[in-house]
A and B are shown apart, each in its own frame.
Chain A
Amino acid sequence: MKTKLFMMGAILAGLAAICSPVFAHHGGAAYDMSKPVVLKDAVVTQFLWINPHPLIKADFKDDQGNVQHWTMEMGSTPASELIGWSRTSLKAGDVVTLYLWRAKTGVTVGRFNKVVFADGKIMRDTQTGADNGGRADTGVGR
């Protein structure tokens, strides 16, 4: 049992080594990576499948009933496609729970972390999609 777990861990570490980023992107310098903002039952208003980064725009109603307009960016289109994203992954009207790393400036923009769909499906960002803000282990080679 112990040997199996060790080997599994070693294999995953090996894959992670292959999958580490080749380029230093701009990543989270502008974002507070200490804890994500959670927008429960946000309504997607636009999903812009553009470069340099696709944008998810969503409206979120806070506890006081005020509607906040949020914009978040995710990994470039080719990088996101590698982990299953496409231009049709989200659309206006989708009700989802969004996790994002908020800009240090305090405005309602940030780096996308992950989305949880109504059916429980989760899709993550390329670079900051792990729960701790690191790269999520997707098992996909670069």
Chain B
Amino acid sequence: MRNRVKGAILGLGAILMLSSIAIAQTAPSQAKQGNEARSPWKYYPMDRAVGDGGPAPKRDLTGTWAGPGSGAAVPRGTNAQTPTAPPLTPAGQQVFDTHKPIGKYSPAGTNDPHTRYCDPFGFPQNMTDEIRGMTITTLPNRTFILIEYMNIWREIWTDGRTLPTNVGGSGKDAVDPTYNGYSVGHWEDDYTFVVDTTGLDPDSWATKNGYPHSIDAHVQERFHRDSKNDITLTMTMDDPKLYTKQFLLGEQHFRWIPNQQLENFSCIPSQVQEYLKEMGDPAGFDPNAPPRR
């Protein structure tokens, strides 16, 4: 009995030690592997930032970053249903019930406009779904987030302006809701950039699982520069029309990409139509099947 416990502890220690050695050592050696000439234009997932790279620079998120699912082995994040599902109001539940997410309904049965048409994710889903890469760059009065998926850019005003209050309303100062909303940002301290967004087009889903948002939803992103090579992004949403309280949209991790190249990755609407015609619709769906992980 005692030997087994000892063995288990030794085993666990071995995992931790060998895993960290494996991760630390694979990056530089795998960067040299392969017989093919490496192109300076391609993203190579095995060419990963080694270690944390040293202390975080102050007030600086600029550069090109690999996110979840990129193959750069970023730390695992969380989504809106961890640990509990977002708390819907009756109005929110009503909207949520009309959404048939792909996880349960498959492409054939879903009404997710992104799956059926390649409609834009919109914000905030474009920062939690397929966020395998992004580039952050700045002007004095605004910060841009250039998202790999769909080649879309967001702008975050840092000139001190406040969020619009009359989105989707009438009156001459009213502005239209948009897929990316209206964003303002500021540095809370030397390592935390806080972004507030509202004015979101309600046609888009807040999450892949079909949680909705209203025009007046207020999403906050907190970008924390943990180190030279790491960013942690935490997102919360307040939407009193649809949710009883603020909830966590998710936490995502990003790592510096050594050669600063992103993958080429988008949905093409005509390709989505071809996919649904050849594959998605004929395959059908079974909403009663247990969801796969």
Contact = CB atoms under 8 A, between A and B. Distances in A.
A3 B10 contact: yes
Interface string A20-35: 1111111111110000
A26 B72 CA distance: 23
A6 B6 CA distance: 12
Q: 7 nearest interchain CB pairs?
A: A141-B73, A27-B292, A105-B284, A14-B15, A82-B71, A103-B283, A29-B289
Contact of B19 (A11, A72, A142): A11
A122 interface: no
A8 to B, nearest CB: 9
A51 B266 contact: yes
B286 interface: yes
Interface stretch (B86-94, B181-189, B195-203, B268-276): B268-276
B291 interface: yes
B168 interface: no
A53 B275 contact: yes
Nearest to B19: A14
Interface string B274-293: 11001110111111010111
A26 B102 contact: yes
A107 interface: yes
A22 B208 CA distance: 12
Contacts of A109: 278-279, 282-283
B103 A55 contact: no
B282 A27 contact: no
Contacts of A118: none
B76 A77 contact: no
Interface of A: 3, 6-7, 10-11, 13-15, 18, 20-31, 48, 50-53, 55, 57, 71-73, 76-79, 81-82, 103-105, 107, 109-111, 127, 140-142
Contacts of A71: 278-279, 282
Given A26-B107, A30-B284, A52-B267, A142 B68 contact: yes
Contact of B69 (A15, A57, A79, A104): A79
Contacts, number: 153
B76 A11 contact: no
B103 A26 contact: yes
Contact of B71 (A3, A24, A48, A140): A140
Given A22-B68, A52-B107, A81-B263, 7 more contacts: A14-B15, A24-B209, A26-B106, A27-B292, A52-B275, A71-B279, A140-B46
B184 to A, nearest CB: 29
Contacts of A105: 282-284
A92 B220 CA distance: 49
A55 B265 contact: no
Contact of B275 (A6, A7, A55, A111): A55
Interface string B78-112: 01000000000000000000000011111110100
B292 A55 contact: no
A21 B293 contact: yes
Contacts of A24: 103, 209, 291-293
20 contacts: A6-B7, A6-B11, A7-B11, A7-B15, A10-B11, A11-B15, A11-B18, A18-B76, A22-B68, A23-B79, A24-B209, A27-B103, A51-B266, A52-B272, A71-B278, A72-B279, A73-B280, A105-B284, A141-B23, A141-B71
Nearest to A101: B283
A82 B263 CA distance: 11
A78 B70 contact: yes
Contacts of A29: 103-106, 285-287, 289, 291-292
B279 A73 contact: yes
A30 B19 contact: no
Nearest to B270: A50
Nearest to B104: A29
A7 B106 contact: no
B23 A28 contact: no
Contact of B292 (A6, A10, A25): A25
Contacts of B24: none
Contacts of A25: 102-103, 292
